[in-house]
Amino acid sequence: MLSLPPIILASNSPRRQQLMRDAGFTFSVQSKNVAEDFPADMPLQDVPVFLAEKKAAAFANEIQNEIVVSADTVVIIGNQILNKPVDKEEAKAMLNMLSGKMHEVITGVCVLSSQKKIVFSDRTDVYFKALTDNEIEYYIEKYQPFDKAGAYGAQEWMGMVGVEKIIGSYFNVMGLPIHKVYEVLKTW
């Protein structure tokens, strides 16, 4: 495996942590409260990289020989970003919006050390089948997807029965394009 300086994963996401562990990385988890706001005129596809950089920048004055890995994932349908739903009604509205359509999942990643910074993003197109009201209700009740952008997790029931196909990285949809993170960390 790679011989790397200490890695800080700047994310409380259990999915990102699992992907990093499964890829063989040893890391500590630290996150800071960073406002996830962005300029209103920013192209939606640029938002995840902007937010990932913002999350990593919160560590810039503290790191010495560590590497910070931060990420942000957005779900885009049409000209709208679907964030994490605040309640059951918003989750239902999001899943109805995604039903029978294609949407983009873009994850921005920032890998930062005291010597260098590499930022990148990965995009996956996700195609949903038409969902019934019963399927949406069942998923929300059983899985409580309130911590997931777009109100669903690809690794959960909705991903298994609702996603017809994806074009791009499945792991990106889970929240971290781990294949690209691995390649970037190899450069250290």
Catalytic site residues? 72
Neighbours of 94 (CB within 10 A): 26
CA distance 74 to 149: 6
Give the bridge partners for 108, in sequence order.
72, 121
CA distance 79 to 134: 27
CA distance 87 to 67: 35
Structure tokens at 124: 């996956």
**80-82 and 27-29: which strand pairing?**
unpaired
